[in-house]
Amino acid sequence: MTREPPEMGLAYDIAAAGNNNVPFLLQRLKAEKRESMQVHLLFVFDLMAAQGHLKGRQDILDELSAIVSAMKFAPIRERGQNELRK
């Protein structure tokens, strides 16, 4: 069951767990077909980076960049690119 829109307050709790959640989040991001939901997942990665959990993890940034580059809907792709720039 999914919630539309997703409960974004949980993003902070998920991000706080740090690197423990990275494999699951990457898998979920790659499996998600809706670009609008992908942007919400990118927000969690943005929070993780702001908290220092992704420091030195260029491999993750490369994967996230590839996912954003593959987005077809320009406004959503731009939101994703903005999340990566933060």
Is residue 27 a part of any domain in this protein? yes
Domain count, the chain: 1
Residue 2 lies in a domain: no
Position 5 pLDDT exceeds 70: no
Give, for 39, the enclosing helix (H) or strand (E): helix 35-50
Helix/strand/coil for 23: helix
Predicted confidence at residue 27, as pLDDT, reads 96
65-78 pLDDT tens trace: 999 999 898 888 88
Provide φ and ψ at 5, rounded to 5°. -70, 160
The residue-averaged pLDDT of 21-39 equals: 93
pTM: 0.83
pLDDT at 2: 57
Between 6 and 24, residue with greater pLDDT: 24
Q: How far is residue 81's CA from residue 76's CA, in Å, rounded to a whole number? A: 9
| Boundaries of domain holding 26 | 9-85
